[in-house]
Structure 1
């Protein structure tokens, strides 16, 4: 099985995709996304991102071929309910949480996601979608 592990995080105005790097300076912690694999730190190209916006690629694409990340908002073509992609520490898996949240999260089914769901936004850029 070949599973791609990568992340995204939002800087001040745009999204960056790649690997998460955390480093500490004298008085602050910086979280950065490094868009390519690097051979040495000297070669690193890193973008500082807001820690709360970091989300992992779940390894699936929506029905349009778009990568799905933790924090994305999905819509199925067979009903109007929206779902947020979340990680459940209890189950140890990415799951869907209905918007607005009912507290019940459901397992992500591969065939259902790739055939019927599409990414319509995310919880950071599309706050209006969280109102349900």
Structure 2
């Protein structure tokens, strides 16, 4: 089975979850849960309101892994990495008229010469 890499932005906590610090479960429908043991020994689940961002399988020119939600600088332009479900590929979007628009497919070439400069949650101001 292929190991799928992802990171999780906890919306209410305004931070990335430390996946090593607890037990978490990503359901097939994309819902993310924290698993914890109750005092009576039973296990319970708590839904975490989060944005799960998957690894694209590509690395930038600095050998940094590229995830959905990353801001990539390529040829002087900033792009946001997203997944295009309709066409089943990772896309680069640019900010136009205050909103993100589809622009081009994220390819291994673009990744290898581009650079991750942040992500939409911690560095969203770069896109303004």
TM-score computed with the length of structure 2 as normaliser:
0.68
For structure 1, which runs of at least 5 residues remain unmatched after alignment? 23-29, 35-41
Cα distance between partner residues in 1 of 2:34 and 2:108: 27
Contact 1:10 1:54 in 2 (8 A): yes
Relative to 1, partners in 2 of residues 1:107 and 1:14: Cα closer, same or farther, differing over 3 Å?
closer
Matches within 5 A, 1:1-132: 4-11=3-10, 12=13, 13-17=15-19, 20-22=25-27, 31-32=32-33, 49-51=48-50, 53-76=51-74, 79-100=75-96, 101=99, 103-114=101-112, 116-131=113-128
Distance apart, 1:20 and its partner CA: 4.7
8 A Cα contact 1:6 1:57, kept in partner: yes
Task: Please report how far the alpha carbon of residue 129 of structure 1 lies from its aligned counterpart in structure 2 after TM superposition.
Answer: 1.2
Superposed CA RMSD in Å reads 3.2
Please give the secondary structure, in 1, of the residue aligned with 2:94. Answer: strand
Given that residues 8 and 54 in structure 1 are in contact (C-alpha distance below 8 angstroms), is that contact kept between their aligned partners in structure 2? yes
Residues 12-54 of structure 1: per-residue CA shift (max 9 Å, x gap): 23444587524xxxxxxx72479xxxxxxx9xxx997542x21
Taking a change above 3 Å as real, the CA distance of residues 14 and 57 of structure 1, as seen in their structure-2 partners, is same
Asked if the contact 2:90–2:106 (Cα under 8 Å) also holds between the matched residues in 1, the reply is yes
Which structure has the highest strand share of the two?
2
Paired positions, count: 110
TM-score of the aligned structures, taking structure 1 as reference length: 0.66
Unaligned runs of 5+ in 2: 36-40
* Stretches (4+) displaced over 6 A: none
